Amino acid sequence: MQTRAFTDQLRRNITINFPPKRIISLVPSQTELLFDLGLDQEIVGITKFCIYPKDKFKSSTKIGETKKLDLKKIIEMQPDLIIGNKEENRKEDIEYLMQHFPVWMSDIFNLNAALEMIKSIGDLVDRADKANEFPKSISTDFAQLKNDVSIKSPQKVLYFIWKDPYMLAEKYFY
Protein backbone atom coordinates (compact mmCIF):
# COMPACT_ATOMS: atom_id res chain seq x y z
CA MET A 1 0.00 0.00 0.00
CA GLN A 2 1.31 3.43 -0.89
CA THR A 3 0.72 6.80 0.75
CA ARG A 4 -0.79 9.77 -1.08
CA ALA A 5 -1.39 13.39 -0.14
CA PHE A 6 -4.72 15.15 -0.62
CA THR A 7 -6.12 18.59 0.14
CA ASP A 8 -9.53 18.87 1.77
CA GLN A 9 -12.06 21.69 1.36
CA LEU A 10 -10.59 23.52 4.36
CA ARG A 11 -7.35 23.64 2.35
CA ARG A 12 -5.62 21.27 4.78
CA ASN A 13 -3.23 18.66 3.49
CA ILE A 14 -3.64 15.08 4.66
CA THR A 15 -1.69 11.94 3.84
CA ILE A 16 -3.44 8.59 3.72
CA ASN A 17 -2.65 4.97 2.97
CA PHE A 18 -4.03 4.70 -0.54
CA PRO A 19 -6.50 3.43 -1.32
CA PRO A 20 -8.10 3.57 2.13
CA LYS A 21 -9.50 0.25 3.38
CA ARG A 22 -11.16 1.37 6.66
CA ILE A 23 -13.32 4.49 6.24
CA ILE A 24 -15.51 6.21 8.82
CA SER A 25 -18.04 8.73 7.54
CA LEU A 26 -19.36 11.40 9.89
CA VAL A 27 -21.88 12.98 7.48
CA PRO A 28 -25.10 11.45 6.10
CA SER A 29 -24.86 12.86 2.56
CA GLN A 30 -21.22 11.85 2.24
CA THR A 31 -22.02 8.39 3.59
CA GLU A 32 -24.58 7.98 0.79
CA LEU A 33 -21.95 9.08 -1.73
CA LEU A 34 -19.45 6.54 -0.41
CA PHE A 35 -22.00 3.74 -0.73
CA ASP A 36 -22.95 4.99 -4.22
CA LEU A 37 -19.27 4.70 -5.12
CA GLY A 38 -19.35 1.01 -4.16
CA LEU A 39 -17.33 1.22 -0.95
CA ASP A 40 -19.54 -1.16 1.04
CA GLN A 41 -16.57 -3.19 2.31
CA GLU A 42 -14.40 -0.16 3.12
CA ILE A 43 -16.98 1.73 5.21
CA VAL A 44 -16.45 0.54 8.78
CA GLY A 45 -18.39 3.21 10.69
CA ILE A 46 -21.19 5.73 10.18
CA THR A 47 -23.28 7.99 12.40
CA LYS A 48 -26.77 7.12 13.59
CA PHE A 49 -28.03 9.83 11.22
CA CYS A 50 -26.51 8.15 8.15
CA ILE A 51 -29.78 6.33 7.50
CA TYR A 52 -29.47 5.86 3.72
CA PRO A 53 -29.20 3.49 2.06
CA LYS A 54 -31.47 1.77 4.56
CA ASP A 55 -30.04 -1.71 4.09
CA LYS A 56 -26.50 -0.42 4.67
CA PHE A 57 -27.59 1.55 7.75
CA LYS A 58 -28.92 -1.58 9.42
CA SER A 59 -25.70 -3.52 8.91
CA SER A 60 -23.16 -0.73 9.62
CA THR A 61 -21.40 0.02 12.89
CA LYS A 62 -22.65 3.29 14.42
CA ILE A 63 -20.09 5.67 15.92
CA GLY A 64 -22.46 8.15 17.57
CA GLU A 65 -24.12 11.27 16.19
CA THR A 66 -22.70 13.94 13.91
CA LYS A 67 -22.23 16.32 16.83
CA LYS A 68 -21.81 13.67 19.53
CA LEU A 69 -19.24 11.17 18.27
CA ASP A 70 -18.19 8.11 20.23
CA LEU A 71 -14.49 8.99 20.08
CA LYS A 72 -13.43 5.89 22.04
CA LYS A 73 -15.19 3.60 19.57
CA ILE A 74 -13.63 5.46 16.61
CA ILE A 75 -10.14 5.07 18.13
CA GLU A 76 -10.75 1.34 18.65
CA MET A 77 -11.83 0.94 15.00
CA GLN A 78 -8.47 2.26 13.72
CA PRO A 79 -9.73 3.83 10.46
CA ASP A 80 -7.43 4.67 7.54
CA LEU A 81 -9.59 7.70 6.78
CA ILE A 82 -12.32 9.74 8.44
CA ILE A 83 -14.54 11.99 6.32
CA GLY A 84 -16.32 14.88 8.05
CA ASN A 85 -17.87 18.28 7.42
CA LYS A 86 -17.13 21.73 8.85
CA GLU A 87 -20.79 22.48 9.67
CA GLU A 88 -21.93 18.99 10.69
CA ASN A 89 -19.16 18.01 13.10
CA ARG A 90 -17.83 19.70 16.21
CA LYS A 91 -14.44 21.34 15.77
CA GLU A 92 -13.05 19.91 19.02
CA ASP A 93 -14.00 16.35 18.00
CA ILE A 94 -12.37 16.76 14.61
CA GLU A 95 -9.22 18.26 16.12
CA TYR A 96 -9.00 15.31 18.52
CA LEU A 97 -9.46 12.77 15.72
CA MET A 98 -6.86 14.55 13.56
CA GLN A 99 -4.26 13.77 16.24
CA HIS A 100 -4.81 10.06 15.57
CA PHE A 101 -6.04 9.64 11.99
CA PRO A 102 -6.21 11.34 8.60
CA VAL A 103 -9.41 13.41 8.57
CA TRP A 104 -10.67 14.87 5.28
CA MET A 105 -13.15 17.73 5.79
CA SER A 106 -15.73 19.13 3.41
CA ASP A 107 -16.95 22.73 3.48
CA ILE A 108 -20.01 23.04 1.28
CA PHE A 109 -21.53 26.48 0.80
CA ASN A 110 -22.92 26.29 -2.73
CA LEU A 111 -23.50 23.91 -5.62
CA ASN A 112 -19.97 24.25 -6.98
CA ALA A 113 -18.49 23.31 -3.59
CA ALA A 114 -20.79 20.26 -3.48
CA LEU A 115 -19.65 19.18 -6.95
CA GLU A 116 -16.02 19.72 -5.96
CA MET A 117 -16.60 17.61 -2.83
CA ILE A 118 -17.95 14.72 -4.91
CA LYS A 119 -14.95 14.79 -7.24
CA SER A 120 -12.48 15.13 -4.36
CA ILE A 121 -13.93 12.22 -2.43
CA GLY A 122 -13.82 10.14 -5.61
CA ASP A 123 -10.09 10.86 -5.90
CA LEU A 124 -9.57 10.24 -2.19
CA VAL A 125 -11.13 6.76 -2.23
CA ASP A 126 -9.84 5.66 -5.66
CA ARG A 127 -13.21 5.96 -7.40
CA ALA A 128 -12.55 9.08 -9.51
CA ASP A 129 -14.10 7.72 -12.71
CA LYS A 130 -17.39 6.83 -11.06
CA ALA A 131 -17.46 9.96 -8.87
CA ASN A 132 -16.93 12.25 -11.88
CA GLU A 133 -20.16 10.95 -13.42
CA PHE A 134 -22.25 12.50 -10.62
CA PRO A 135 -21.24 16.18 -11.11
CA LYS A 136 -21.80 15.87 -14.86
CA SER A 137 -25.28 14.47 -14.31
CA ILE A 138 -26.13 17.04 -11.62
CA SER A 139 -24.92 19.94 -13.77
CA THR A 140 -26.95 18.69 -16.72
CA ASP A 141 -30.06 18.33 -14.55
CA PHE A 142 -29.66 21.86 -13.12
CA ALA A 143 -29.15 23.32 -16.59
CA GLN A 144 -32.31 21.57 -17.77
CA LEU A 145 -34.21 22.86 -14.73
CA LYS A 146 -33.15 26.43 -15.49
CA ASN A 147 -34.37 25.99 -19.07
CA ASP A 148 -37.68 24.49 -17.93
CA VAL A 149 -38.47 27.06 -15.25
CA SER A 150 -38.87 30.69 -16.08
CA ILE A 151 -38.75 32.63 -12.84
CA LYS A 152 -40.21 36.07 -13.42
CA SER A 153 -40.09 37.30 -9.82
CA PRO A 154 -38.37 36.20 -6.62
CA GLN A 155 -39.71 32.91 -5.32
CA LYS A 156 -39.46 31.71 -1.73
CA VAL A 157 -38.98 27.97 -1.37
CA LEU A 158 -39.10 25.91 1.82
CA TYR A 159 -37.65 22.45 1.90
CA PHE A 160 -37.30 19.74 4.52
CA ILE A 161 -33.76 18.97 5.64
CA TRP A 162 -34.54 16.57 8.50
CA LYS A 163 -37.30 14.61 10.20
CA ASP A 164 -37.67 13.90 13.95
CA PRO A 165 -37.66 16.74 14.62
CA TYR A 166 -38.76 18.30 11.37
CA MET A 167 -36.34 20.99 10.17
CA LEU A 168 -36.90 23.32 7.26
CA ALA A 169 -34.67 25.62 5.27
CA GLU A 170 -35.78 28.48 3.10
CA LYS A 171 -34.23 29.98 0.00
CA TYR A 172 -35.12 32.82 -2.30
CA PHE A 173 -34.65 32.22 -6.02
CA TYR A 174 -34.41 35.10 -8.46
pTM over 0.75: yes
- The domains of the chain, with CATH numbers, are 2-136 (3.40.50.1980)
Nearest to 151 by CA among 133, 167, 173, 132: 173
- Nearest alpha-carbon partner for 78 in 61, 90, 54, 59: 61
pLDDT for the residue 148:
64
* ∠ CA 61-123-66, rounded to 5°: 35
Q: Which of 5-14, 41-50, 131-140, 150-159 has the lowest mean pLDDT?
A: 150-159
pLDDT of residue 173: 59
| Residue % of the chain over a pLDDT of 70 | 91
For the chain, what is the radius of gyration of the CA atoms? 17
Report the mean per-residue pLDDT for the chain.
91
Q: Please, are residues 115 and 133 in contact by the beta-carbon 8 Å criterion?
A: no
Going by pLDDT thresholds of 50, 70 and 90, the confidence category of residue 170 is confident
161 band by pLDDT with thresholds 50, 70 and 90 = confident
Q: CA–CA distance from 72 to each of 6, 38, 64, 93, 144 (Å)?
A: 26, 27, 10, 11, 47
- The model's pLDDT over 61-117, given as tens digits with 9 standing for 90+, comes to 999 999 999 999 999 999 999 999 999 999 999 999 999 999 999 999 888 999 999
Task: State mean pLDDT over 41-64.
Answer: 95
Share of the chain above pLDDT 90, in %: 74
| Mean pLDDT, range 9-16, rounded to an integer | 97
Cβ contact 149:174 at 8 Å: no
Query: What does the alpha-carbon distance between residue 113 and residue 135 come to, in Å, rounded to a whole number?
Result: 11
- Which pLDDT value is given to residue 139? 85
